[in-house]
């Protein structure tokens, strides 16, 4: 079992993960010389700008100025920190991380890799049934009548669960899984009377729910036309793999489009998502049988800066705005609301009007606060009473108060945002902003405040000094020179903090008794920006010197000369003191000159 925090663990995971396989699993890579290239998933790429170096196990996008190793790729793509990337890659490589508490036995209902395999097995059975089994004829007709094409059925892994109580469970005996595994992932239920297991999904079309790593984690099932089952839709229960408050439907397929535009569109149902994608609107997802909540927002913030909520054109759809607005007011996400025409849902709208019209609707969406104010003022008349106006104002402030910030906390990064909200409400309702602030303070006393602070966006590090860049390039290309550099070079002469961090990373690898090869230095840092910088240094177009060691020694001497010159300039500047006469200044200057000559091994001339 691996030590979670050890350097050896990072190297073990890196060694077990081929970067070409990792990146190639999520985007198409094509051979380009000794490496590979593909469309970058982190911007709207039209021609391959992301390159992968299989020899160095590194990647880089020249447009985004991003790069690094397998860890930084997962951190950027999944929107997680280094620990999260480490866990994801360990799980992918089958490496068990040592954590507190008992370790789940392989093949048990608590062993997550087994549960993932069981879900993949069941997904395949349901999908194959829909495609080929005579029992699924009505299901195939249902999807065809609704306008789903073969590409959508394949991409979203749609399926069918036949009627009866044991279609799936009858096949478990021939599988590597137990009935208890099926129960643990929500595919089977236990009878209270007989304690026997039966299928959880019966006579329903199946919608596969996947996580961002394209793994099946749950299912949604819809009744067939003519069924008298009162539950039109059922979703997987809460399991070790699936939580409806933490996942959204379609994110596995929508994620790249969302990241490219930093914009996510949220609709209400499975079929809304599928039809939008079928008509070319790829950044659409849906909640899973529950209202949009804080955990959904946390998930979406990993990939998007803006979210547009597309509401069904009925009264219930309009009311649901209040349920989510207060969370977004407290969040740095830009929430917008698009309301469909009366009686329409996204599925109908897209089919009747096409993807371009749907995009136009989304692009014309109003920000959520404007939408809320319009709803509150909709019933007001020019002659509305003061009481009616105050009631409408209170309706807005009750929503906003859940996210209101302490007026005295000037350091809070969202205070400016709240100040702008207050001024806007005061303007729209034509009341003093002091009154709005006072009413918010009253409401805060009786209502839980929602705070959804966000991590500040990391700025790109400034480029390395040319000498630092050349020094590290030499050490990455010729790791056999690192010992000499450690002996001869004073790292205090480096020109920036980030250069010092790279030096320390090289030193950390040496201290572990390992050769400081490029990939190990990458392992030694966790900051994505620093990983990008290291890859940039490694890929710098520098003419290889015929004698690398001589080049290193000359570079080290140049650093020393720079320090000496700077010291001399400071000393000479000190001679400008008005307290020294001309003769004293000349004597002091001669001493400085002689000292510099001695430092460089030059003999001082004498009278003889």
My answer on whether 437 and 388 are in the same domain is: yes
Residue 342 lies in a domain: no
How far is it, in rounded angstroms, from Cα 234 to Cα 368?
A: 30
Look at residue 1 and tell me whether its pLDDT is greater than 60: no
Using alpha carbons, list the distances in angstroms from residue 507 to 511, 513, 533. 6, 10, 17
The domain boundary, picked from 93, 113, 130, lies at: 93
Contact 54, 17 (CB under 8 A): no
The domain that contains 508 carries what CATH number?
Answer: 1.10.860.10
Residue-level length of the chain: 608
pLDDT of 335 reads 84
| 384-389 long-range Cβ contacts below 8 angstroms, 24+ apart | 389/429
Nearest alpha carbon to residue 327 among 368, 377, 281: 368
My answer on whether 426 and 510 are in the same domain is: no
pLDDT digits (tens, 9 = 90+) for 12-51: 888 889 999 999 888 889 999 889 999 998 888 888 999 9
How far is it, in rounded angstroms, from Cα 251 to Cα 21?
A: 21
Look at residue 157 and tell me whether its pLDDT is greater than 80: yes
Average pLDDT value for residue range 496-504: 92
Owning domain of residue 157? 104-242
Nearest alpha carbon to residue 204 among 138, 125, 264: 138
Band of residue 592 on the pLDDT scale cut at 50, 70, 90: low
pLDDT of 229 reads 87
C-alpha angle 191-196-200 in degrees, rounded to nearest 5: 60
How far is it, in rounded angstroms, from Cα 291 to Cα 270?
A: 14
My answer on whether 110 and 222 are in the same domain is: yes
Using alpha carbons, list the distances in angstroms from residue 69 to 8, 476, 519, 550. 16, 15, 8, 31
Least confident of 125-134, 252-261, 394-403: 394-403
pLDDT of 576 reads 58
Residue 484 lies in a domain: yes
My answer on whether 122 and 230 are in the same domain is: yes
3-state secondary structure of 150: helix
The domain boundary, picked from 208, 242, 276, lies at: 242
Residue 234 lies in a domain: yes
Q: In degrees rounded to 5, what are phi and psi of residue 560?
A: -60, -40
Using alpha carbons, list the distances in angstroms from residue 331 to 298, 319, 324. 9, 20, 11
My answer on whether 108 and 231 are in the same domain is: yes
Residue 230 lies in a domain: yes
Contact 463, 528 (CB under 8 A): no
Count Cα neighbours of 163 within 13 Å in the Cβ-side half-sphere: 9
pLDDT of 132 reads 95
The domain that contains 56 carries what CATH number?
Answer: 3.90.580.10
Q: Quick count: other Cβ atoms within 10 Å of Cβ 559?
A: 20
pLDDT of 156 reads 96
How far is it, in rounded angstroms, from Cα 200 to Cα 212?
A: 25
Residue 522 lies in a domain: yes
My answer on whether 118 and 198 are in the same domain is: yes
My answer on whether 112 and 217 are in the same domain is: yes
Domain count, the chain: 4
My answer on whether 109 and 238 are in the same domain is: yes
Those residues whose C-beta lies under 8 Å from the C-beta of residue 180, and which sit 6 or more positions away, are 109
Could you tell me which residue, 447 or 606, shows the higher pLDDT? Answer: 447
DSSP state of 2: B
pLDDT digits (tens, 9 = 90+) for 239-278: 999 988 889 999 999 998 998 888 999 998 899 999 999 9
Look at residue 407 and tell me whether its pLDDT is greater than 50: no
pLDDT of 411 reads 45
pLDDT of 278 reads 97
pLDDT digits (tens, 9 = 90+) for 525-554: 888 889 999 999 988 888 888 899 999 999
Residue 492 lies in a domain: yes
User: What's this model's pTM, rounded to 2 decimal places?
Assistant: 0.70
pLDDT of 2 reads 39
3-state secondary structure of 296: helix
- What are the structure tokens assigned to 77, written together? 């793509």
Average pLDDT value for residue range 269-294: 90
The domain that contains 235 carries what CATH number?
Answer: 3.90.980.10
How far is it, in rounded angstroms, from Cα 119 to Cα 384?
A: 58
How far is it, in rounded angstroms, from Cα 261 to Cα 248?
A: 18
pLDDT of 550 reads 92
Band of residue 345 on the pLDDT scale cut at 50, 70, 90: confident
Look at residue 295 and tell me whether its pLDDT is greater than 90: no
Look at residue 512 and tell me whether its pLDDT is greater than 80: yes
Contact 110, 103 (CB under 8 A): no
My answer on whether 86 and 124 are in the same domain is: no
3-state secondary structure of 592: helix
**Cα of 274 vs its chain's centroid, Å:** 23
The domain boundary, picked from 242, 273, 304, lies at: 242
Look at residue 100 and tell me whether its pLDDT is greater than 60: no
Band of residue 561 on the pLDDT scale cut at 50, 70, 90: confident
**Cα of 484 vs its chain's centroid, Å:** 41
pLDDT digits (tens, 9 = 90+) for 445-456: 765 544 444 444
How far is it, in rounded angstroms, from Cα 501 to Cα 519?
A: 16
My answer on whether 403 and 496 are in the same domain is: no
My answer on whether 231 and 149 are in the same domain is: yes
> Percentage of residues in the chain with pLDDT exceeding 90?
38
Nearest alpha carbon to residue 335 among 324, 343, 344, 347: 324
Average pLDDT, the chain: 82
Residue 436 lies in a domain: yes
Residue 261 lies in a domain: no
My answer on whether 35 and 153 are in the same domain is: no
pLDDT of 400 reads 74
């Amino acid at each position: 079992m691996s030590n979670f925090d050890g350097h050896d663990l990072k190297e073990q995971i890196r060694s077990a993960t081929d970067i070409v396989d990792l990146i190639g699993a999520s985007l198409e890579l094509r051979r380009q010389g000794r490496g590979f290239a593909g469309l970058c998933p982190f911007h709207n790429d039209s021609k391959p700008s992301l390159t992968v170096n299989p020899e160095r196990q590194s990647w880089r996008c020249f447009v985004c100025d991003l790069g690094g190793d397998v860890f930084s790729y997962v951190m950027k793509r999944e929107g997680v920190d280094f620990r999260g990337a480490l866990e994801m890659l360990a799980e992918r490589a089958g490496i068990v991380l040592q954590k507190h508490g008992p370790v789940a036995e392989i093949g048990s209902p608590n062993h997550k890799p087994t549960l993932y395999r069981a879900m993949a097995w069941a997904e395949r059975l349901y999908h194959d049934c829909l495609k080929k089994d005579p029992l699924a004829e009505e299901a195939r007709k249902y999807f065809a009548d609704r306008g789903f094409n073969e590409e959508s059925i394949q991409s979203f892994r749609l399926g069918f669960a036949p009627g009866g109580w044991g279609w799936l469970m009858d096949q478990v005996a021939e599988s590597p899984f137990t009935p208890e595994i099926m129960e643990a992932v929500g595919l089977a239920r236990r009878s209270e009377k007989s304690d026997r297991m039966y299928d959880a999904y019966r006579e329903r079309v199946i919608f596969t729910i996947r996580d961002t790593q394209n793994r099946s984690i749950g299912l949604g099932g819809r009744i067939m036309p003519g069924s008298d089952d009162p539950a039109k839709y059922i979703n997987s229960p809460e399991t070790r793999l699936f939580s409806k408050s933490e996942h959204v439907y379609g994110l596995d397929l929508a994620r790249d489009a969302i990241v490219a535009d930093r914009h996510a569109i949220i609709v209400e149902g499975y079929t809304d998502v599928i039809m939008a994608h079928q008509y070319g609107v790829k950044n659409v997802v849906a909640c899973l049988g529950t209202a949009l909540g804080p955990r959904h927002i946390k998930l979406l913030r990993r990939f998007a800066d803006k979210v547009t909520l597309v509401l069904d054109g009925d009264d219930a759809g309009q009311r649901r705005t209040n349920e989510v607005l207060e969370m977004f007011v407290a969040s740095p996400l830009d929430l917008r609301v698009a309301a469909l025409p009366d009686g329409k849902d996204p599925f109908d709208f897209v089919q009747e009007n096409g993807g371009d019209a749907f995009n136009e609707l989304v692009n014309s969406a109003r920000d959520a606060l404007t939408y809320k104010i319009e709803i509150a003022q909709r019933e007001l008349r020019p002659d509305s009473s003061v009481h009616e106006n105050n009631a409408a104002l209170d309706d807005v402030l009750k929503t906003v108060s859940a996210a209101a910030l302490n007026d005295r906390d000037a350091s809070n990064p969202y205070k400016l945002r709240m100040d702008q909200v207050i001024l806007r409400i005061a303007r729209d309702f034509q009341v003093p902003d002091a009154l709005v602030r006072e009413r918010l303070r009253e409401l805060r006393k009786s209502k839980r405040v929602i705070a959804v602070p966000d991590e500040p966006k990391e700025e790109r590090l400034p480029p390395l000094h040319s000498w630092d860049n050349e020094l590290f390039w030499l050490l990455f290309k010729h790791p056999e020179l690192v010992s000499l550099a450690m002996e001869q070079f004073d790292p205090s002469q480096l020109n920036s903090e980030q250069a010092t961090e790279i030096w320390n990373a090289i030193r950390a690898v040496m201290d572990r008794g390992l050769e400081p090869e490029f990939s190990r230095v990458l392992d030694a840092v966790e900051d994505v920006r620093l990983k990008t910088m290291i890859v940039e240094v490694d890929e710098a177009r520098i003419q290889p010197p015929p004698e690398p060691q001589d080049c290193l020694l000359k570079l080290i001497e140049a650093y020393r000369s720079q320090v000496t010159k700077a010291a001399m300039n400071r000393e000479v500047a000190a001679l400008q003191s008005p307290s020294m006469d001309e003769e004293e200044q000349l004597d002091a200057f001669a001493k400085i000159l002689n000292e510099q000559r001695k430092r460089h091994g030059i003999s001082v001339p004498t009278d003889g």
